[in-house]
Chain A
């Protein structure tokens, strides 16, 4: 089976994010970069699918030179090869432009199933997997916690508000992964050594026949609005403190 997993390199979840003074983006200095956690679930599912049905996993990623580390991490986990799209026109691109670039790269390779994370934890837009599916003319099943493939049929569990859906679709398709789908493996030391020799093609947008077209822009970034300092209820008696909070919620906040 020809399996593709799309990954994005993002700041570590623990990273402190500072907005540049002019609001044009974030300060990148001192940030530790990692594979977006939801993409790890996608890569793991891609590897499990390969282990079950045979075939190859190709990693596709977009970003500056440092992105190669994330591609190598996925190769160290067990993927066979990578495509790294490194083009300044695509750094910080919107969802449509990002999906267009992924689609252009994936169109050129055989693909029976494509995995993406449900969202990247930097821009948090959560759109790319679905747009990619549309651009490739494939069905998409998003934000899933279980996947079973049989022949050319895929069955997936998708939690929704107050229920779970069992959805069936046909391969080829795009799947977006959420937490609960699996436990991503760690790269082993031999895996890391082997990954260094695995092939990764580096491409520019033009190599993919792509003209980058953004449909939305971040006009300005700002730090989150400051919350006014809260009230710590003083005292030694839990009952008195609890009664005071209930009173405040009722009379001041008016939320109960």
Chain B
């Protein structure tokens, strides 16, 4: 019978991504309820040393495949390697991150393992010995509780939602052969163009200062950049601002942009159209600044200021400077 809570760790350029610790900690919690062990799959070239870091977050065993064909990530190589080790070990639960890579890999694995998955979950627990995963649907206008009847029960977890909790375990390394035939792989990464700005990705940011139509043009964003920089965050935008060409597509938060869950989301000159709310309503704290007291964003905000953002935001920066 299928047993154990498994995760697929995500690493890039020789370092584990933060989401790996979030899923490891969540897996630990579920495994403790089930009285099971947590196993991680770690793939890449020269990655074994990272196993110890996973152990810190509650991983009992780390299945490591070290293969040049696994670096950098490609869908077909990683899906084949994970499917092989999962089929050999028959875990009950398999968790991945709902990062860009995790979404791609997990979906392909659903096909390879002929099972079901709750994707981009914001809550997960064990009920009656089975996984019960909660996830936003209809862009957060509803939530669904998902039960997976296939094996393993798969879920991908939304980044920045589940806490990473240190809880040291053995992290015993078990090496396995990914069994890849490099000639049969059909996808190849030709080039990685790193974002030269070094901007924190919206999906990984703890603080986001976002601007909408009320910014009136691309120039206004400098005041948001200043506040975001001071708070260790990054700048986002509404669809209106992206469609107007003020900000790049990669900055868009919302239904046709990114879904974000920062600790703090500061919405400046954003009315709060339902498409925008879909992308940011799982933020832990929301601050809204808007001239229009009727703007729907205020219904979602923890703290609101009805005023001109160009007067308020520089004052936020000044006030934050005093305490930081």
- Chain A residues engaging chain B, CB cutoff 8 angstroms: 11, 13-14, 16-17, 19, 26, 37-38, 94-96, 99, 121-135, 139-143, 145, 155, 158-170, 173, 179-180, 214-225, 227, 230-233, 238-239, 241-243, 245-250, 253, 255-256
Contacts and interface: CB of A to CB of B under 8 A. Distances in A.
Given A142-B107, A256-B264, A216 B117 contact: yes
B275 interface: yes
A222 B274 contact: no
B147 A245 contact: no
B33 interface: no
Q: Is the interface of A mostly helix, strand, loop or mixed?
A: mixed
B158 to A, nearest CB: 11
Contacts of B146: 216-219
Contact of B307 (A161, A238, A243): A238
Given A17-B138, A140-B108, A255-B264, A96 B116 contact: yes
B116 A179 contact: no
Given A126-B103, A162-B194, A249-B303, A242 B285 contact: no
Contacts of A37: 255-256
Nearest to A241: B305
Given A142-B107, A216-B146, A180 B319 contact: no
B76 A139 contact: yes
A153 to B, nearest CB: 10
A96 B312 contact: no
Contacts of B216: none
A30 B107 CA distance: 33
A8 to B, nearest CB: 13
A145 B249 contact: yes
A46 B74 CA distance: 24
Contact of B116 (A215, A231, A247): A215
A166 B275 contact: no
B145 A248 contact: no
Interface stretch (B52-60, B87-95, B161-169, B197-205): B197-205
Contact of A169 (B145, B186, B284, B305): B186
A256 B189 contact: no
Interface string B142-167: 11111111100000000000000000
A139 B307 CA distance: 52
Nearest to B198: A162
A233 B74 CA distance: 49
Nearest to B101: A160
A99 B111 contact: yes
B139 A124 contact: yes
Closest 9 pairs between A and B when the two form their complex, measured CB to CB: A134-B111, A216-B116, A215-B116, A242-B315, A130-B107, A215-B150, A161-B201, A131-B111, A139-B186
B238 to A, nearest CB: 13
Contact of B189 (A13, A165, A255): A165
Contacts of B324: 256
A141 to B, nearest CB: 7
Contacts of A161: 99-100, 201, 203-204
B42 to A, nearest CB: 19
B114 interface: yes
Contacts of A241: 305, 307, 312, 315
Given A215-B115, A216-B149, A256-B320, A130 B250 contact: no
Contact of A221 (B144, B150, B307, B319): B144
Q: Which of A14, A99, A160, A242 has the most CB of B within 10 A?
A: A242
Given A135-B111, A218-B145, 18 more contacts: A11-B138, A37-B255, A122-B137, A124-B119, A133-B108, A143-B100, A167-B187, A179-B257, A215-B149, A216-B148, A230-B301, A231-B302, A238-B307, A238-B308, A247-B319, A249-B264, A250-B323, A256-B264
Given A127-B110, A166-B193, A216 B303 contact: no
